[in-house]
Structure 1
Amino acid sequence: MTHHRILPRLIVPDPDRASAYYRDALGAEEVFRALGDDGRPTVVEHRLGGSSFRVSPAVPAWGWLSPDDLGGSAVLMEIEVDDPDGTGARMTADGAEVAVPIENRPYGKRSGRIRDPFGHLWIITGEPR
């Protein structure tokens, strides 16, 4: 069997700031960092539980555009956590905004949507309380 792995890459204006945000707000662990000739990160990989995602700077010449460049995010990142309310509170305390409040949903989950400070939308979901 061939090994495959999908690594979402969030394009952000400042990978250092985004990496610090995701570490603090989500508890993500930084596991890889590549630097460009200017010493700034070109990619930072994070592990969150059994999943990984990356952040990279916006580079319009390559077609790498941030949500601000596009007028919004075309992708939803979904994270399943033990404490959706606590995760949402940490995210908003660190500069995110609530797009859809976290509450019990009729489909049996407690979830909501948070827009992080870089314009990316996150569905925060977990067990209802």
Structure 2
Amino acid sequence: MTTISRTSPRLIVPAPDRASAFYQDALGAEQVFRAPPGDDGRPSVVDHRIGGTSFRVSPAVSSWGWLSPSDLGGSAVLLEIEVDDPDAVGERMIAHGADAVVPIENRPYGKRSGRVRDPFGHLWIITGELR
């Protein structure tokens, strides 16, 4: 069996540079690579790192089957991040254009969590320790 060394989600968005700026500002993501712009002026991929994890942002290209949440009528994936202060992260995301979907509150399963939709339609569960 082949060993998988890493899995990196790739978020499909209409505007990769705008999305990259949002993730840097709202989540503190570090941009570690940006491909040169293609014929349409958009980079084909922008790599980011948050803590010990990474994710990529790429433009929606329907002919490749790369569809954004708005193309699909909603997000098909939930991205979950565990943070020290879920309230602060949620507030920062909302201040940068995200929408609250489920309030960040203490949950009966022993975590403080909630859900936001980023400006590009991706859903994020923000979770941390109870307050």
Report TM bin, short chain: over 0.9
Tell me the equivalent position of 2:99: 97
The size of the alignment, in residue pairs, is 129
Tell me the equivalent position of 1:68: 70
> Is the partner of 1:41 in helix, strand or coil?
coil
- CA gap of 1:6–1:37, structure 2 versus 1, over 3 A, is same
Q: How does 1:1-129 map to 2 (within 5 A)?
A: 2-38=3-39, 39-129=41-131
1:115 Cα deviation after fit: 0.2
- Separation in structure 2 between the aligned mates of residue 37 and residue 46 of structure 1, nearest angstrom: 19
- Separation in structure 1 between the aligned mates of residue 5 and residue 110 of structure 2, nearest angstrom: 31
1:3 Cα deviation after fit: 5.0
Letter in 2 for 1:86: A
Letter in 2 for 1:29: E
> Is the partner of 1:21 in helix, strand or coil?
helix
Amino-acid identity (%) = 77
- Separation in structure 2 between the aligned mates of residue 124 and residue 71 of structure 1, nearest angstrom: 22
1:2 Cα deviation after fit: 3.7
5+ long unaligned stretches in structure 2? none
Letter in 1 for 2:60: A
5+ long unaligned stretches in structure 1? none
Q: Stretches of 4+ moved more than 4 A in 1?
A: none
Letter in 2 for 1:87: V
Q: CA RMSD in A?
A: 1.2
1:12 Cα deviation after fit: 0.3
- Separation in structure 2 between the aligned mates of residue 69 and residue 3 of structure 1, nearest angstrom: 30
- Separation in structure 2 between the aligned mates of residue 52 and residue 113 of structure 1, nearest angstrom: 20
Q: TM-score, normalized by length of structure 1?
A: 0.96
